Amino acid sequence: MPTPIIRGNEDLIATANRENTNGLIRQYIPKKSDFSNFATENIAEIQNKLNNKPRKTLKFDSPIQNLTKNKIAFQS
């Protein structure tokens, strides 16, 4: 019998966040889609929509607002 894997709380949160993000992406791109059929502009538009969408886990701020409020610097 395999030994169960015990995950820390951070791992569970990261997994839930990743699965939620995948679900949001699936609103725009169906599962098993060929990304070569999407223009860079289409991907950038989807990325922009998701980055500006309010999230309950961020107290209804968007990820961009959250980054700005917390003064987190990032490079594009």
Does residue 4 belong to any structural domain of this protein? no
Q: Which amino acid is at 57?
A: T
Mean pLDDT for all residues in the chain: 85
- Residue 31 domain boundaries: 9-69
Which of 22, 62, 56, 28 is CA-nearest to residue 44? Answer: 28
Per the structure, the count of domains in the chain is: 1
**Residue 2 domain flag:** no
Which DSSP state fits 43? H
The answer to whether residue 29 is domain-embedded is: yes
Per-residue pLDDT of the chain (76 residues; tens, 9 = 90+): 676 666 677 777 788 888 988 999 999 999 899 888 889 999 999 999 999 999 888 899 999 998 888 876 665 5
Q: How confident is the model at residue 9, as a pLDDT?
A: 72
Backbone angles phi, psi at 55, to 5 degrees: -125, 135
Task: Determine the Cα–Cα distance for residues 14 and 33; give it in Å rounded to an integer.
Answer: 24
